[in-house]
């Protein structure tokens, strides 16, 4: 007894601990390691299986944010069961990362074939429009000569704008397109430049705030199908573009309604978020690889316009934007690009019924960027948020065959179409905003875009393409501010006179000759602007030449006659004084 105590007393505490640890079976250690790994993965992957089990697999409630007096909510969104229910994710995809990963790898999209139309925008760029017509084409359907819908068709048309480096072949896009088309509507996917297998045909690339392409496509569709109600659905970066476009256009857009799915809202906040944690940095690198793949497809153009070596070495979205987007689009810094292109700044001016859907666990678009107050202050916006869903995923059912946001969006658009709250563009909302004087400076064959790029105007993109007629239109010529043609010519002439009066004229020795020359110069200054205006308008709209010529003559002959009489009288007095 004493001997054993002596032996034990001779060992250190560390030796005793090791001896005790050796007595534990190896299976217990394996179980402990597995538990630690599972806890780490549960935390790292943001799994919510336990929460779903404890909640009885009822799912999370859909939270709606809207203005208390919003008619869009009370008469449209209130009729949508999807927006007033719950969302339960597929049990084996109970993680935003698993949902997003599964959507990118498989997504289980429906199988169908698009009809492609290539549309050339004003600056020479090419946009691929991929069409899917309704499934019941044989029921009251009349095909157009080009194989698409009839020009007199009244079936609603939905324009879908994909996300970053995505096109019409993406799984989530095909889910949305098929869902809309199977319910009797027509759908067209407006692919970004350089995507969908189409080459870059101009020196302009799309970016997170590039709204010129969708603006021109919507104008073209409205002009070609004037009786067709137009709706638009934007996804991810496409949602940012759509919301920004709606804010820029205000009431002047021909869209009857729209939807924004998983928009990043604030690109600057999103940039900070995606580089914050390890898992977000993985997404950042994956998206940068996709952007570099897009750039490699168009290397001959980008190598000439941007820093190709920097693009090739980019390891994040921010680095790619620094070497490519900011150089091509001429932004001073990356933060400047992010600030100017964030759709959150344009939410207040949205005048079209808009449904916005975001998941609070989105691994790419953080909830911190959602403009809660701005959406609540706008009566046209209904914001729906769910606790789970990932990025553009929202898988439902045991087989993950459906996307919740697709059904919710379809239900909202159909309810909007059946209501009396669709946005309708007024006939005089889209008048040419340039005055006669500005059109003379710019010429009808040149369009100066917002980013300063000068591009030729083609037949598809010139003028007022929405087919609306203004009250201020006179024989095919539209004038701004409601001014009559004579008033426009008079104002233009006055501006040219002020510009020309800055140059000094040499005075002759004879005062009478000096006065006569001054009157002649003034007469020339009056006639020259009118002549240039008529020449300009002749190129712009030949139908109104004779009317404008008549108006110019009728309004200017009293002034011309009086100047000629005064000149003749002065000259007739000079010989008498000399005699």
Q: What is the mean pLDDT of residues 68-74?
A: 97
Q: Are 250 and 378 in contact (CB under 8 A)?
A: no
Report the first-to-last Cα separation within the chain, whole angstroms. 159
> If you compute the radius of gyration of the chain from its CA atoms, what whole number of angstroms results?
33
SS3 state of residue 339 = helix
| Strand pairing class (381-386; 354-359) | parallel
Mean pLDDT (whole number) for 496-502 = 34
Q: State mean pLDDT over 67-82.
A: 96
Task: Kindly give, in sequence order, each residue whose CB lies less than 8 Å from that of residue 128, ignoring residues fewer than 6 positions away.
Answer: 116, 117, 118, 119, 167, 168, 191, 195, 196, 197, 198
Task: Using CB atoms within 10 Å of the CB of residue 19, give its burial: 0 to 12 exposed, 13 to 18 middle, 19+ buried.
Answer: exposed
Give the bridge partners for 131, in sequence order: 115, 188
Query: Which segments of 80-162 does DSSP mark as H helices, in order?
Result: 96-105
Note whether 87 and 59 are within 8 A (CB). yes
CB-CB contact of 516 with 575 (8 Å): no
Per-residue pLDDT of 359-393, as tens digits, reads 999 999 999 999 999 999 999 999 999 999 999 99
Sheet strands (E) in 2-114: 60-61, 63-66, 86-87
By mean pLDDT, which of 21-35, 162-176, 258-272 is the weakest? 21-35
pLDDT of residue 566: 59
CA distance to 101, 109, 393, 485, per residue, from 106 (Å)? 8, 8, 11, 61
Average pLDDT of the segment spanning 473-495 = 34
Residue 437's closest CA among 536, 528, 522, 526? 536
**Tens digit of each residue's pLDDT (9 = 90 or more) over 224-243:** 999 999 999 999 999 999 99
What domains, with CATH codes, occur in the chain? 27-56 (no CATH), 62-266+351-418 (3.40.50.1820), 272-336 (no CATH)
In degrees and rounded to multiples of 5, residue 232 shows phi and psi of -140, 140
For the segment 289-310, the average pLDDT, to the nearest whole number, is 95
Q: What was the pLDDT predicted at 152?
A: 84
> Which of 518, 515, 519, 520 shows the shortest CA–CA distance to 504?
518
User: CA 459, CA 463: separation in Å to the nearest integer?
Assistant: 8
> By C-alpha distance, which of 156, 147, 140 is closest to 225?
156
Secondary structure element (H or E) that encloses residue 279, with its range: helix 278-297
d(CA 19, CA 541): 99
> Of 385, 350, 377, 127, which Cα lies nearest the Cα of 248?
350
| pLDDT for the residue numbered 10 | 67
Q: Say if residues 495 and 506 touch (Cβ distance below 8 Å).
A: no
**Alpha-carbon distances of 164 from 275, 319, 332, 554, rounded to whole Å:** 18, 16, 22, 58
pLDDT digits (tens, 9 = 90+) for 548-573: 444 555 555 555 555 555 555 555 55
Burial class (CB in 10 A: 0-12, 13-18, 19+), 236: buried
Q: State the pLDDT at residue 345.
A: 96
pTM of the model: 0.72
Sequence-separated (6 or more) residues with CB below 8 Å from residue 452: 330
| Rounded CA separation 174/108 (Å) | 10
What are 208's two structure tokens? 């997170």
CB-based contact 413:231 (threshold 8 Å) = yes
Provide the sign of the torsion angle of the four alpha carbons 104, 105, 110, 115, taken in this order.
Answer: positive
Of 164, 183, 174, 231, residue with least CA distance to 424: 231
Residue-wise burial string across 526-539, b where 16 or more C-beta atoms lie within 10 A, e elsewhere = beebbeebeebbee
Query: For position 531, what pLDDT does the model report?
Result: 54
CA 456, CA 204: separation in Å to the nearest integer? 14
User: Is 161 in a helix, a strand, or coil?
Assistant: strand
pLDDT higher than threshold 60 for residue 58: yes
The whole-number pLDDT of residue 9 equals 56
Question: DSSP of 193-228, one letter per residue?
Answer: TT-SS----SS----TT--HHHHHHHHHHHHH-TTS
Cβ distance 334 to 326 under 8 Å? yes
Express each pLDDT in 332-355 by its tens digit. 999 999 999 999 999 999 999 999
What does DSSP assign to residue 59?
-
For the segment 408-420, what is each residue's pLDDT rounded down to a tens digit? 999 999 999 999 9
Question: For 162-175, how does the pLDDT look when each residue is reduced to its tens digit (9 = 90+)?
Answer: 999 999 999 999 99
d(CA 536, CA 472): 19
Nearest to 352 by CA among 373, 385, 378, 318: 378
Q: Are strands 115-120 and 157-161 parallel, antiparallel or unpaired?
A: unpaired
Structure-model confidence comparison of residues 380 and 476, the more confident one? 380
Contact 62/405 with Cβ under 8 angstroms? no
And the tokens for 111? 């199988």
pLDDT score, position 15: 85
Say if residue 523's pLDDT is above 90: no
pLDDT at residue 528 above 80? no
């Amino acid at each position: 007894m004493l001997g054993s105590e002596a032996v034990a007393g001779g060992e250190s505490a560390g030796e005793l601990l090791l001896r005790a640890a050796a007595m534990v079976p190896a299976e217990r250690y394996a179980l402990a390691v597995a538990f630690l790994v599972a806890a780490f993965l549960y935390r790292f992957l943001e799994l919510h299986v336990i929460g779903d089990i404890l909640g009885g697999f009822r799912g999370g409630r859909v939270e709606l944010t809207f203005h208390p007096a919003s008619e869009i909510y009370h008469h449209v969104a209130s009729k949508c069961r999807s927006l007033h229910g719950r969302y339960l994710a597929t049990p084996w995809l109970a993680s935003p990362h698993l949902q997003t990963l599964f959507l990118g790898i498989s997504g289980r999209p429906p199988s169908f074939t698009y009809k492609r139309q290539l549309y050339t925008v004003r600056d020479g760029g090419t946009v691929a429009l991929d069409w899917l017509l309704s499934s019941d084409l044989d029921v009251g359907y009349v095909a157009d000569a080009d194989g698409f819908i009839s020009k007199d068709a009244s079936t609603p048309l939905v324009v879908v704008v994909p996300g970053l480096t995505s096109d019409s072949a993406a799984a989530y896009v095909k889910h949305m397109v098929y869902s809309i088309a199977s319910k009797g509507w027509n759908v067209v996917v407006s692919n970004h430049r350089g995507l969908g297998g189409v080459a870059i045909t101009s020196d302009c690339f799309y970016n997170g705030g590039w709204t010129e392409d969708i603006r021109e496509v919507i104008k073209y569709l409205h002009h070609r199908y004037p009786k067709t109600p137009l709706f638009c659905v934007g996804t991810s970066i496409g949602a940012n573009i759509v919301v920004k476009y709606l804010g820029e256009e205000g009431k002047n857009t021909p869209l009857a309604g729209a939807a924004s799915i998983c928009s990043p809202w604030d690109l600057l906040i999103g940039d900070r978020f995606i580089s914050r944690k390890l898992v977000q940095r993985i997404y950042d690198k994956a998206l940068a690889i996709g952007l570099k793949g897009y750039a490699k497809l168009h290397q001959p153009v980008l190598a000439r316009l941007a820093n190709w070596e920097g693009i090739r070495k980019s390891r994040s979205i921010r680095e790619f934007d620094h070497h490519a987007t900011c150089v091509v689009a001429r932004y001073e810094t990356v933060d400047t690009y992010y600030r100017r292109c964030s759709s959150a700044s344009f939410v207040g001016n949205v005048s079209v019924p808009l449904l916005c859907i975001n998941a609070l666990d989105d691994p790419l678009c953080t909830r911190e960027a959602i403009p809660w107050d701005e959406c609540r202050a706008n009566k046209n916006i209904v914001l729906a948020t769910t606790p789970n869903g990932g990025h553009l995923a929202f898988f439902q059912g045991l087989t993950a065959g459906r996307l919740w946001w697709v059904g919710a969006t379809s239900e909202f658009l159909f309810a909007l179409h059946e209501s009396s709250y669709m946005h309708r563009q007024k006939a005089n909302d889209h008048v040419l905003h340039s005055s006669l004087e500005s059109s003379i400076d710019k010429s009808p064959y040149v369009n100066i875009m917002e980013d300063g790029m000068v591009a030729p105007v083609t037949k598809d993109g010139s003028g007022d393409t929405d087919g609306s007629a203004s009250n201020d239109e006179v024989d095919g010529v539209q004038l701004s501010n409601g001014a009559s043609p004579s008033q426009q010519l008079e104002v233009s002439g006055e501006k040219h006179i002020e510009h020309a009066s800055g140059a000094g004229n040499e005075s002759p020795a004879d005062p009478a000759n000096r006065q006569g020359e001054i009157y002649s110069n003034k007469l020339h200054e009056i006639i020259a602007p009118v002549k240039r205006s008529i020449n300009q308008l002749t190129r712009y709209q030949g139908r109104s030449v004779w009317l404008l010529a008549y108006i110019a003559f009728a309004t200017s002959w009293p002034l011309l006659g009086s100047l000629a009489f005064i000149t003749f009288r002065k000259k007739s007095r000079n010989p008498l004084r000399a005699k």
